[in-house]
């Protein structure tokens, strides 16, 4: 399916023309038909001679309903511009064309209606010349009459050519469906409609609405039920478990976790106009008050009153509600711009954006941030996958400069921790992350390894034997004694004299310097292996007394040591009085 929006002054025959082309009534409300003018968006569809299905979004032409007009034309890829032969170019013709130009639409068709009431030649020439000066450029022009049918076959031929020339769309892209209408169907629940520009929606899918997941119960397009709908299409989506009051025009259905919600964007403005202070930002079907901060002649920063899911390359319209006029077109250059806090930052930012086109430079985006998630860049509109001179760590992209800055800071941070906490020299990885200012825990371990350090039990430590600070001398003395006599465990008085308490013993054990057999007995880490070797000289089954003599120690040490060996499957009991080696 293809989608075309109408545009033009009120009462110039837009709805009559759509009715003649489709045989359908686009005006949905009795009030519209009673007043003879379109108030809200209307929809109708037909099949062209080529077999291509074409849907029309019929927009209101009256100046009081220009916001509705922008909601209809915003998501559409092409426009059918309508001017009446008997009235010619009018005020709303100018504003509608300004909106078309502001949105950067490049595909269109001119229809001069009521050619049965006046000679259309002059109006055809005038309107075609006006459209040619906009983003549309030269467009085919056809004189028609919605009443007599004159010129309709030629218009249908041109519509076929128009839709054949529209650019291809991505059925696998992210869904962003701007809601233009919401209503309730008895027995089915809430239904929303909109123009699907990219991506595909299928029955059973989950979409994001207001940050919550909602299910797709059923789908319709052009009045027929569908299991799947791809772009570009007019689509009605029946949502599961969503009250009608929760939805309004300007809401948006999204592929979950695939879009970046932003309230600050850097943009290029076109045309260059004197902009008022009070402006409304129109994108898709949304209309949000916005504050504008000029950065350069045609570049500005916009702060939206509420966040929207935007990306680089989006087109929008700034409108002055006090004058009921389009103020400027907007091209989004950056949906996640840097803050402007320092002196001279606005000028530097304007220089950075001087040549921006709305297509992101992946390397520049990574360089500006130092490190960024790949899925964040995708949410901002980046489609490139390969980025030169950028390190990939998990989903993170990191510049070599940033990586080296972090890497060189690891060892000093770990050393400072060890000096501050000598009894706990391994720096916890969360503490190291905070010290380095890393954006994600997944970066910590690779940086520790790159710095030549090691990770043990969730801590970063030097491969070298760490010092125990004030306890170092006492632990060294105990090591010296045990080297000479492996099972001469120091008495509590010795430990107190050496100023070795529970914390110092725990630190020495964590550092691999000592081994606590129990709360009272401290030996070297090699003690269990030495004991195994000495016990091998005993009979297959030996008593505690025999073991004590082989180990050349006291019962104070021998009994807890044998219990330790039992617990670690080095020895086992044969009966209550004897043990054997396993």
User: Which residues have C-beta within 8 Å of that of residue 459, sequence separation ≥ 6?
Assistant: 426, 427, 428, 429
Question: Which CATH fold would you assign to the domain 261-359?
Answer: Elongation Factor Tu (Ef-tu); domain 3 (2.40.30)
Neighbours of 391 (CB within 10 A): 17
HEC secondary structure over 376-423: HHHHCCCCCCCCCCEEEECCEEEEHHHHHHHHHHHHHHHHHHHHHCCC
pLDDT given for residue 62 in this prediction: 38
pLDDT given for residue 66 in this prediction: 53
- CA–CA dist 93, 217 (Å, integer): 40
Q: What are phi and psi of 390, to 5 degrees?
A: -130, 135
Burial grade of 308 (CB within 10 A; 0-12, 13-18, 19 or more)? buried
- CA–CA dist 80, 110 (Å, integer): 6
pLDDT given for residue 129 in this prediction: 95
pLDDT given for residue 245 in this prediction: 66
The three-class DSSP label of residue 460 is: strand
* Residue 514: both structure tokens together: 């000592």
Helix (H) or strand (E) holding 515: strand 515-516
pLDDT given for residue 466 in this prediction: 60
pLDDT given for residue 559 in this prediction: 92
Question: CATH says 176-254 is which class?
Answer: mainly beta
Question: Which CATH fold would you assign to the domain 477-581?
Answer: Arc Repressor Mutant, subunit A (1.10.10)
pLDDT given for residue 39 in this prediction: 34
Residue pair 335/310 in contact (Cβ under 8 Å)? The answer is yes
Residue pair 291/276 in contact (Cβ under 8 Å)? The answer is no
User: Which residues have C-beta within 8 Å of that of residue 210, sequence separation ≥ 6?
Assistant: 246, 251
CA 32 to chain centre: 41
Neighbours of 357 (CB within 10 A): 11
What is the pTM for the complete model shown? 0.74
Q: Is the peptide bond before 271 cis (omega within 30 degrees of 0)?
A: yes
pLDDT given for residue 358 in this prediction: 87
Residue pair 259/311 in contact (Cβ under 8 Å)? The answer is yes
- CA–CA dist 485, 482 (Å, integer): 5
pLDDT given for residue 40 in this prediction: 44
pLDDT given for residue 156 in this prediction: 93
pLDDT given for residue 70 in this prediction: 64
pLDDT given for residue 30 in this prediction: 36
Neighbours of 87 (CB within 10 A): 17
* Residue 372: both structure tokens together: 């960024």
- CA–CA dist 169, 171 (Å, integer): 6
- Domain range 2-164, its CATH number among 3.40.50.300, 3.30.450.20, 3.40.830.10, 3.90.25.10: 3.40.50.300
User: How do the pLDDT tens digits run along the chain, 582 residues long?
Assistant: 788 888 888 676 788 888 888 888 755 433 333 333 333 467 788 899 999 888 888 775 434 435 565 665 656 788 999 999 998 998 888 888 888 888 888 999 999 999 999 999 999 999 999 999 999 999 999 999 988 999 999 999 999 999 999 888 888 889 999 988 888 877 778 888 888 888 999 999 999 998 889 999 999 888 889 999 988 888 889 998 787 667 888 899 999 999 999 999 999 998 766 677 789 999 988 999 999 999 988 999 999 999 999 999 998 989 888 777 788 889 999 999 999 988 999 999 999 999 988 888 888 888 888 999 989 998 998 876 667 678 889 889 999 999 999 999 999 999 888 878 776 768 999 999 999 999 999 999 999 999 989 888 888 887 655 656 777 788 888 888 898 999 999 988 888 888 888 887 877 777 778 888 888 888 998 899 999 999 999 999 999 999 999 999 999 999 999 999 999 999 999 998 899 998
Q: What are phi and psi of 512, to 5 degrees?
A: 80, 20
């Amino acid at each position: 399916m293809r989608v075309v929006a109408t545009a033009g002054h009120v009462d110039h025959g837009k709805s009559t023309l759509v009715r003649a082309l489709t045989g359908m009534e686009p005006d949905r409300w009795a009030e519209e038909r009673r007043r003879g003018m379109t108030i809200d968006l209307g929809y109708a569809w037909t099949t062209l001679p080529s077999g291509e299905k074409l849907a029309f979004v019929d927009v209101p032409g009256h100046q009081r309903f220009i916001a509705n007009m922008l909601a209809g034309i915003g998501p559409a890829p092409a426009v059918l511009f309508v001017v009446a032969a008997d009235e010619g170019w009018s005020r709303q013709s100018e504003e509608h064309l300004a909106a078309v130009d502001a949105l950067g639409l490049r595909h269109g068709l001119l229809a001069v209606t009521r050619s049965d009431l006046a000679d259309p030649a002059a109006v055809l020439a005038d309107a075609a010349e006006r459209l040619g000066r906009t983003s549309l450029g030269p467009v085919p022009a056809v004189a028609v009459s919605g009443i007599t049918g004159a010129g309709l076959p030629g218009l249908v031929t041109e519509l076929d050519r128009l839709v054949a020339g529209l650019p291809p769309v991505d059925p696998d892209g992210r869904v962003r469906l701007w809601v233009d209408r919401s209503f309730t169907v008895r027995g089915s629940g809430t239904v929303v409609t909109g123009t699907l520009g990219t991506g595909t929606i299928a029955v059973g899918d989950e979409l994001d609405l207001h940050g919550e997941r909602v299910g797709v119960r059923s789908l319709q397009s052009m009045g027929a039920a569908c299991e799947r709908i791809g772009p570009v299409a007019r689509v009605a989506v029946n949502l599961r478990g969503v009250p009608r009051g929760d939805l309004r025009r300007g809401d948006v259905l999204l592929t979950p976790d695939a879009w970046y919600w932003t309230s600050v964007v850097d943009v290029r403005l076109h045309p260059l106009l004197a902009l008022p202070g009070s402006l409304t930002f129109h994108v898709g079907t949304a209309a949000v008050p916005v504050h504008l901060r000029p950065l350069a002649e045609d570049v500005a920063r916009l702060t939206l009153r509420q966040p929207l899911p935007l990306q680089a390359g989006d087109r929008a319209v700034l409108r002055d509600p006090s004058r009921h006029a389009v103020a400027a077109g907007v091209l989004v250059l950056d949906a996640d711009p840097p803050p402007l806090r320092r002196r001279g930052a606005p000028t530097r930012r304007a220089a950075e954006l001087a040549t921006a086109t709305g297509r992101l430079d992946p390397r520049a985006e990574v360089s500006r941030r130092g490190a960024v998630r790949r899925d964040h860049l995708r949410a901002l509109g980046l489609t490139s996958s390969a980025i030169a001179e950028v390190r990939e760590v998990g989903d993170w992209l990191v510049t070599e400069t940033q990586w080296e800055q972090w890497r060189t800071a690891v060892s000093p941070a770990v050393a400072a921790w060890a000096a501050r906490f000598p009894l706990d020299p391994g720096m916890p990885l969360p503490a190291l992350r905070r010290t380095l200012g890393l954006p994600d825990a997944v970066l910590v371990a690779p940086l520790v390894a790159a710095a030549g350090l090691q990770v043990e039990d969730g801590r970063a430590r030097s491969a070298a034997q760490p010092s125990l600070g004030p306890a170092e001398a006492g632990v060294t003395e105990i090591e010296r004694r045990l080297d000479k006599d492996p099972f001469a465990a120091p008495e509590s008085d010795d430990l107190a004299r050496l100023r070795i308490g529970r914390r110092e013993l725990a630190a020495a054990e964590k550092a691999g310097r000592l081994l606590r057999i129990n709360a009272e007995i401290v030996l070297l880490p090699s003690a269990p292996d030495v004991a195994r070797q000495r016990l091998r000289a005993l009979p297959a089954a030996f008593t505690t007394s025999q073991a004590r003599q082989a180990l050349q120690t006291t019962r104070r040490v021998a009994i807890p040591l044998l219990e330790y060996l039992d617990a670690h499957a080095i020895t086992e009991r044969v009966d209550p009085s004897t043990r054997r080696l396993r």
